[in-house]
């Protein structure tokens, strides 16, 4: 599987991705619309299973439709609920007594 983190902007997207089978990591900048569409269609043509994660955006409808057409998973996150790097989530685990 290819897992892609996508920083989507109206004119381009910056992606980082990992191939979970080989461990290979890459980063790329894809210009919209032609370059991005070509990249994702090539993954589909190779029969790759793909998951894309991105922040919610009102400008990404064409991109969401493309991923649906290619039957790729799309995970959309809420940036307001993201945890900044360097901060930790408070644990709800209580120490055991005993």
- What backbone torsions phi and psi does residue 28 show, to the nearest 5 degrees? -150, 155
Average pLDDT over residues 69-92: 73
Average pLDDT over residues 70-87: 77
Residue 93 lies in a domain: no
Written as six digits, the tokens of 54 are 């991105």
Residue 51 lies in a domain: yes
Residue 54 lies in a domain: yes
For residue 59, what are the domain limits? 2-7+26-79
Per-residue pLDDT of 24-49, as tens digits, reads: 999 999 998 899 999 999 999 999 99
For the beta sheet containing 73-77, the strands, ordered from the edge strand earlier in sequence to the opposite edge, are: 25-31, 12-19, 2-8, 50-55, 73-77
Per-residue pLDDT of 53-70, as tens digits, reads: 998 777 888 999 999 999
Please answer whether residues 57 and 78 qualify as being in contact, where contact means their C-beta atoms are separated by less than 8 angstroms.
Answer: no
- What is the C-alpha to C-alpha distance for residues 27 and 93, in angstroms, rounded to an integer? 36
Structural domains in the chain (count):
1
């Amino acid at each position: 599987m290819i897992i892609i983190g996508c920083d989507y902007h109206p004119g381009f997207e910056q992606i980082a991705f990992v191939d979970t089978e080989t461990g290979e990591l890459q980063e790329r900048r894809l210009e919209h619309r032609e370059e991005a569409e070509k990249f994702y269609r090539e993954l589909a043509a190779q029969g790759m299973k793909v998951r894309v994660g991105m922040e919610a955006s009102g400008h990404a409808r064409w991109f969401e439709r493309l991923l649906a057409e290619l039957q790729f998973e799309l995970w959309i996150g809420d940036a307001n609920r993201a945890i900044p790097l360097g901060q930790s989530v408070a644990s709800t685990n209580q120490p055991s007594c005993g």
